[in-house]
Amino acid sequence: MSFELLPTDPALWRGRVDTGEEGDATRWHQHVKPWLRGSPRGVALVGFACDLGVRRNHGRPGAAAGPVAIRRVLASLAWHQELPVWDAGDVHVNEAGDDLEGGQAYLAGTVADLLDEGHRVIVLGGGHELAFGSFSGLARHTASPGATIGVVNVDAHFDLRAGERATSGTPFREIAEHCAAAGRPFRYLCLGVNRDANTRALFETAQRLGAQWQLDENMGAGQFQQVRDRLAAFVDGVDRVQLSIDLDALPAAVAPGVSAPAARGVALELVEAIVGDVVASGKLALADIAELNPAFDLDGRTARVAARLAARLSR
């Protein structure tokens, strides 16, 4: 098999149990259960254990181990959730098969199934190529005419590259092409763009495709409210939101465990505000947390950030 959905090792959802304390002293590992068809509406986690896109993009491989590393941290977080959380397992993409496109399609089917059952879906990466797979699932789910999907990407990179084959640098270009073919509007807001990490050609592509963006240098202290106002205006104009977070948007000290650490980055404080605003809008259908590479992480820092964001995306 080039790709398959494998259930999570139950040993990952184990941890400390505080007995003898008053009140709710539980943690995530005591609440998260394997997803089964017909599970009550809640949040569904699904991993995308894939390095192919990063390899094809000449990045530092290792993101295939990201989903397990995020769950390991999530397991020990204190439970503050209202919604049940289900773990649908990981989509594994066989390296030797080199069928990244097939893996994206497989992820799309899994995401569409979970959305059809009424869950909010959080995809744990895995290379950022997962964003086209997850978007395709949402597009299938919202096939009804009139439902406009807005894609918010928190990323140092546009990921709008052209190419014969999909990579971790092409997902939003693929989404744009999907939208053009399907007669859907392409609504894309990229927050955290690093001018030095995106060529002039990519800025031109973004312009031509009608993308909106905010440079990292315009997201510093004193500019948070302006960014949040811009986000609010974007979210106002769409029906459902895919919020894709590439951990390489964060400062390298906060998120060292990525393929391409940021020289500047966007403060976690602002990324959390972005997450909170999209959740509060009631339009969040789907979220991605991409590019965690545990091989380059320091003291689990990046995994902790990813888990913290996943918990906030689940509220």
| Binding interface with Mn ion (CB under 5 A) | 128, 155, 157, 159, 246
10 Å Cβ neighbour count for 216? Answer: 23
Q: Which is nearer to Mn ion, 56 or 128 (CB)?
A: 128
CB of 259 to Mn ion, least distance (A): 9
CB of 268 to Mn ion, least distance (A): 17
Q: Are 111 and 149 in contact (CB under 8 A)?
A: no
CB of 155 to Mn ion, least distance (A): 4
CB of 156 to Mn ion, least distance (A): 7
Q: Which is nearer to Mn ion, 111 or 258 (CB)?
A: 258
Q: Which residues of the chain form beta strands (DSSP E)?
A: 3-6, 33-34, 43-49, 85-93, 120-125, 149-154, 187-193, 212-215, 240-246, 284-290
Rounded CA separation 289/122 (Å): 8
10 Å Cβ neighbour count for 232? Answer: 14
Q: Which is nearer to Mn ion, 119 or 128 (CB)?
A: 128
CB neighbour list of residue 259: distance below 8 Å, 6 or more residues apart = 54, 57, 59, 60, 61, 62, 63, 127, 168, 248, 291, 293, 296
Q: Which is nearer to Mn ion, 32 or 247 (CB)?
A: 247
10 Å Cβ neighbour count for 204? Answer: 11
Q: Which is nearer to Mn ion, 169 or 294 (CB)?
A: 169
Rounded CA separation 297/102 (Å): 29
Q: Which is nearer to Mn ion, 88 or 250 (CB)?
A: 250
CB of 159 to Mn ion, least distance (A): 4
Q: Are 66 and 291 in contact (CB under 8 A)?
A: yes
CB of 48 to Mn ion, least distance (A): 13
CB of 81 to Mn ion, least distance (A): 27
Q: Are 156 and 193 in contact (CB under 8 A)?
A: yes
Task: Report the alpha-carbon angle 60-62-64, nearest 5.
Answer: 135
Q: Which is nearer to Mn ion, 52 or 85 (CB)?
A: 52
